[in-house]
Amino acid sequence: MYPVKVKALRVEQPLGVYYVAIIPAHVLMDVTFSDRMRASIDDDDGYDVDGTQRGKKGGRPVEIAEYIDRDDSAFPNSIILAANFAQDTGLISTEDPDDDGESAVAWQVVELADGCLELTIPTNAKLAAIIDGQHRLDGFQHVRKPDRLNTEMICSVFMDLPKPYQAQLFATINSTQKQVDKSLTYELFGYNISDEPPERWTPDKLAVFLTRRLNTREESPLMGHILVAPKRDRALLALNESQVWHISTATIVEGIMRLFSANPRRDTSTMLSSASKLRKVLEASRDKTPLRRLYIEGNDALLYAIVLNYLKVCDRLLWKPAKPGSFIIKTVGVQALFDILRHDAPNFMREGDASEAYFETLLRPAAAIDFSAVEFQNASGSGRSMIRRSLQQAIDSGR
């Protein structure tokens, strides 16, 4: 049965890009999961919330099933999904199957020869979080008429949407509905505003915060270039003659987060289940990511400075001089550059120097590489690995 391929429509709205597709209910039952909202008591703040969906209500799915079995059943509203998101580990990689083996299961949208878009669901792996529509899908588990499982459901599919944005979207959708307590949505909007102490920011919150800063500060070479969009969706395309390009939020969030967390989901769970909810509870973890100490100590200013200095040099040496079509200004290239930063982090931390001058010396030998060359075009899914190896070889030869 898999892969499942369906036509899709691309929708661009202020939040970002998503796709509208028609997916049978039985497929959705296979590939989606509900990130059930969990509340825990907090002596200081009353309670904390994790997840984006409300808990399931006992009799409602059965009532919905009875409606589904009726001859006049219809669901004109869309199911809203966040694809390429694993419940236990967070966003999955959609690149480099030779690195992580996950590209084979990632949802993808491609443009066909006739100009139409096609959404591919490669396997039945549960890699789509339900942002809205949980109870409708739960209802299909109780239907009496098996043919109802073939019911076509309208779906709005966000690709590679980081967890904080999932929470924001859920809160926005439901904040005007009486059945959702306003205090609950305010808690969810904690992902979106700085209304809690930074020392309580989980890895994904901090990464999103720094990404938004990179997208809004004039000092940042990525100002205005970061969109809430799929990592593989026209990322870093030249939009006009001035070579304006864009990269997805997920790409930058992941690149930053991998500097200080190998398993953001586990870190978040550890923090939220602790009495203090503070980063310092992660002291006992065996996470070996290079900038872990800075994160736990709350040295967010230095984390931002390191990333900013590095990206300034990337812009100066690699992005601005890049030829049209260069892979260094595509998703795989940006991912590879973050890989280099992560790999070199032990060195600049040991030397106590993460200045622009340091990164200039580091990346200068790589400035001569033509990332628009044929070998990079033919690299296909291994492009990230190939670019990373080329960068590292140039850096090693320059030392």
Q: In 177-299, which residue ranges form alpha helices assigned H by DSSP?
A: 182-188, 203-216, 249-257, 264-272, 292-296
Using a pLDDT cut of 90, give the percent of the chain over it.
53
Q: Does position 25 have pLDDT exceeding 90, yes or no?
A: yes
pLDDT digits (tens, 9 = 90+) for 246-278: 788 888 989 999 999 999 888 988 998 899 999
Kindly report the pTM of this predicted structure: 0.69
Weakest-pLDDT range from 5-14, 156-165, 315-324, 389-398: 156-165
- Helix or strand run (H / E) with residue 331: helix 331-351
Burial zone of 266 (CB within 10 Å; 0-12 exposed, 13-18 middle, 19+ buried) = middle
Q: How confident is the model at residue 61 (pLDDT cuts 50, 70, 90)?
A: confident
Q: How confident is the model at residue 101 (pLDDT cuts 50, 70, 90)?
A: very low
CA 302, chain centre distance (Å): 23
If one compares 19 and 41, the residue with the highest pLDDT of the two is 19
Q: What is the DSSP pairing of strand 247-248 with strand 226-227? A: parallel
Considering 2-16, 113-127, 195-209, 300-314, the range whose residues carry the highest mean pLDDT is: 300-314
pLDDT digits (tens, 9 = 90+) for 331-368: 889 999 999 999 999 999 999 999 999 999 999 999 99
Angle of CA points 207, 210, 215, to nearest 5°: 125
Weakest-pLDDT range from 23-27, 127-131, 305-309: 127-131
Q: Does position 43 have pLDDT exceeding 90, yes or no?
A: no
Weakest-pLDDT range from 55-64, 101-110, 314-323: 55-64
| Cβ–Cβ under 8 Å, residues 129 and 81 | yes
Q: Which residue has the tokens 């939020």?
A: 249
Domains of the chain, by residue range, sit at: 4-191, 198-397
pLDDT digits (tens, 9 = 90+) for 130-151: 988 988 999 999 999 999 999 9
If one compares 86 and 82, the residue with the highest pLDDT of the two is 82
Sheet containing strand 32-33, edge to edge, reads 32-33, 128-132, 79-83, 152-159, 16-24, 4-13, 117-121, 108-111
Distance CA 215, CA 234 (A): 18
State the amino acid at position 215 in one-letter form. N
Weakest-pLDDT range from 58-62, 81-85, 146-150: 58-62
Q: Does position 236 have pLDDT exceeding 90, yes or no?
A: no
The residue-averaged pLDDT of 359-381 equals 83
